Amino acid sequence: MIIRIASHEFKAYFKSPMAWTILAVLQLILGYLFLTQIETFTLMQDKLANIEGAPDLTDIIVIPLFSNAGIILLLVTPLLTMRLICEERRNKTLSLLLSAPISDTQIILGKYLGTLSLLGIIILLISLMPLSLMTVVEFDKGKLLANVLGLSLLCSAFTAVGIFMSTVVGHPTVAAIGTMGILLILWLLNINSTLSDNPNEFLSYFSLLKHFQSIQTGLLDSSDIIYFVLFICSFLILTVNSLSQQRFQK
């Protein structure tokens, strides 16, 4: 049943121009940034070759591309998630969905996986950019894999917050703005580590950016993976709980 809901959600995105527009705009922005990074590297490579320990092709092209994608997806994901539950409620179809013989967990997981599938396509398109250079130059595949994993976990976390806000808030626009607000706060918690002489370790732990950057280096740390898994689980539990509350208030 989860797969059916996910497939329905996924198809629904492509039945409206929204997903296509997002794909087009993302492709244009990230394609431009990718080509700019290539140009930067080709201009710098002669100088870099003579410096010991200088950043390599993967550091100059792949990592900035995925970092930029992370920031752009922080702004885009709320637009994809804002309608998940809100729209059902506004169209009065939520009661129908809740009266169907499916659990709240199945509804939430189905909708969550449907959105993740679309984000999976976006991540695949981003990964194809550096992969298209593979015929010309060899770069660190491990680091590329780490970046793909980091961005996938980051998008999963964004979606979990988005679906939660869509469940608790009555209007899609408010849900999108609320999601963006929460994500920006969680993103910027790490700013403390560069601005302060003695950063607050507790606050830094909650920063999405800190864990994402840590995975991007290619060093897979169990604490970073656990952070993302727990983050996603916490928001999904809260979402299921919130939907259950609404079921009993009907």
**CA nearest to 228, candidates 83, 70, 42:** 70
Least distance to another protein from the beta carbon of 63, Å? Answer: 12
**CA nearest to 154, candidates 186, 178, 125, 127:** 186
Tell me whether residue 180 or residue 227 sits nearer to another protein (CB atom): 227
Tell me whether residue 3 or residue 20 sits nearer to another protein (CB atom): 20
Least distance to another protein from the beta carbon of 219, Å? Answer: 4
Q: Say if residues 74 and 187 touch (Cβ distance below 8 Å).
A: yes
Q: Say if residues 104 and 247 touch (Cβ distance below 8 Å).
A: yes
Tell me whether residue 19 or residue 183 sits nearer to another protein (CB atom): 19
Least distance to another protein from the beta carbon of 216, Å? Answer: 11
Tell me whether residue 3 or residue 75 sits nearer to another protein (CB atom): 75
Backbone angles phi, psi at 169, to 5 degrees: -105, 150
Least distance to another protein from the beta carbon of 149, Å? Answer: 9
d(CA 235, CA 169): 14
Least distance to another protein from the beta carbon of 50, Å? Answer: 10
CA 199, 203, 207, 210 dihedral sign is: positive
Tell me whether residue 7 or residue 214 sits nearer to another protein (CB atom): 214
